[in-house]
Amino acid sequence: MTVRKSERLLNLLIMLLVQRHYVAKDRIREILYPAMSDDAFEKMFERDKEELRSLGVPIEVGSMDAYFDDEPGYRVRPDRLALPDISLTSDEAAVIGLATRVWQHARLADATSEAVRKLSALGVPIDETALDIAEPRLSADEPSFDVFWEAIQERVPVAFDYRRSGATRTSTRHLQPWGVVRYSGRWYVVGHDVDRGEERVFRLSRIQGEARRDGKPGSYEIPAGTDVRATALRLARPPATGEAVLLVRSGAGLALRRDATAVDTDVAGPDTATGWDRVRVQRAEDEVADEVLAHGDAVYVESPTTVRDEVVRRLRATVGAAS
């Protein structure tokens, strides 16, 4: 089975990052590029090194033995890869926090763990503390995220069945994806709609079944100067806002209370473990669902039922993924 490009690059980065000394080219080939001809290995290894360097990874080249002129080895020093201490404004920190949703995607966490497991099984001495600079934490919860993420890296068209808002039937769509973006609590894919011959945006949660790779790598190019976020904001339907009525435990949900249009204290709640307050907020439904889930059992959705159903759907999906 051919190792996909994104996984191969991640494996190479981890191998060079977790070892304290230079790694010989032969050793890299043996572990990460097995069964390749000499010419194929040289070309792919050079391409992979240059791609990592273009992403800002400082790959060092040095001698394996200080006393002999032997074949050079390679490594990535964690102290050079890590960012220096920086100060951010609250707005800048919010942008960085949103950006981490993509890097800290569960698939990358799994790939990191798998790479470390493979290296350990092959007897490669590793220093796992070097991975602290890129520890995955958050996840994207749409099943089709992985397909689009990898297709964008490899420029592979994707086919999928899609149901528009309010529609009763699905239709098969063919897309050359340019990027994925999170907007108003939802993941969207932006790209060129092959069937309609124009740029379009699709919400990942409306994809029915599995998205499918529908072509060969390198089948298209992303137009120069494409701003995926700006395109999504221009094409996606703006989120509808309305009133949400929430039951919030006494002393919890401070952010919800701060933005509330009304708060009724000491009301009946779903249990008697604590007191409850009724909090009314004006929000897009997706945003309300995100906030409710962030508060765990401290917040209960009284209305609208669409928000409550969405919270239940996500909780069930999380339980199903963990079982």
Same domain as 266, residue 203: no
Is 19 part of any domain? yes
Is 131 part of any domain? no
- For residue 282, what pLDDT is reported? 87
Is 136 part of any domain? no
Same domain as 13, residue 50: yes
Percent of the chain with pLDDT over 90: 28
Same domain as 106, residue 16: yes
Query: What are the DSSP calls for 285-299, one per residue?
Result: HHHHHHHHHHTGGGE
61-65, 68-72, 158-162, range with greatest mean pLDDT: 158-162
Whether the full predicted model's pTM is greater than 0.75, yes or no, is no
- For residue 68, what pLDDT is reported? 52
Rounded Cα gap, residues 161 and 211, in angstroms: 7
* CATH code for the domain in which residue 256 is found: 3.30.70
Confidence category of residue 214, pLDDT binned at 50, 70, 90: very high
Same domain as 255, residue 230: no
Q: Is the pLDDT of residue 312 over 80?
A: yes
Same domain as 98, residue 20: yes
- For residue 240, what pLDDT is reported? 66
Is 64 part of any domain? yes
Rounded Cα gap, residues 242 and 283, in angstroms: 6
Domains contained in the chain, number:
3
Same domain as 212, residue 157: yes
**What is the chain's length?**
323
- For residue 304, what pLDDT is reported? 92
Rounded Cα gap, residues 176 and 84, in angstroms: 37
- The edge-to-edge listing of strands for the beta sheet with 276-284 is 262-267, 276-284, 241-249, 299-303
Is 133 part of any domain? no
Residues 6+ away with beta carbon under 8 Å from 59? 16, 49, 52, 53, 74, 75, 76
Q: Are 175 and 190 in contact (CB under 8 A)?
A: no
Rounded Cα gap, residues 67 and 303, in angstroms: 74
Same domain as 29, residue 119: yes
Is 130 part of any domain? no
Q: Where is the domain boundary, 124, 157, 179? A: 124
Q: Is the pLDDT of residue 195 over 90?
A: yes
- For residue 52, what pLDDT is reported? 85
Q: Is the pLDDT of residue 96 over 80?
A: no
* CATH code for the domain in which residue 58 is found: 1.10.10
- For residue 133, what pLDDT is reported? 44
Q: 10 Å Cβ neighbour count for 195? A: 11
Is 154 part of any domain? yes
Predicted confidence (pLDDT) per residue in 111-138, tens digit:
555 555 555 555 555 554 554 444 443 3
Same domain as 115, residue 10: yes
Q: Is the pLDDT of residue 167 over 80?
A: no
Q: Where is the domain boundary, 95, 124, 153? A: 124
* CATH code for the domain in which residue 188 is found: 2.30.30
- For residue 7, what pLDDT is reported? 72
Same domain as 287, residue 231: no
Predicted confidence (pLDDT) per residue in 215-245, tens digit:
999 999 999 888 888 888 888 876 667 899 9
Same domain as 168, residue 77: no
Same domain as 118, residue 162: no
Residue 173 or residue 60, greater confidence:
173
Same domain as 111, residue 12: yes
Q: Where are the alpha helices (DSSP H) in 122-172?
A: 145-154
Q: In terms of residue numbers, what domain contains 22?
A: 5-124
- For residue 100, what pLDDT is reported? 46
Crossing angle for the helix pair 145-154 and 106-121, to the nearest 10 degrees: 70
Is 86 part of any domain? yes
- For residue 64, what pLDDT is reported? 64
Q: Where is the domain boundary, 235, 258, 277? A: 235
- For residue 233, what pLDDT is reported? 84
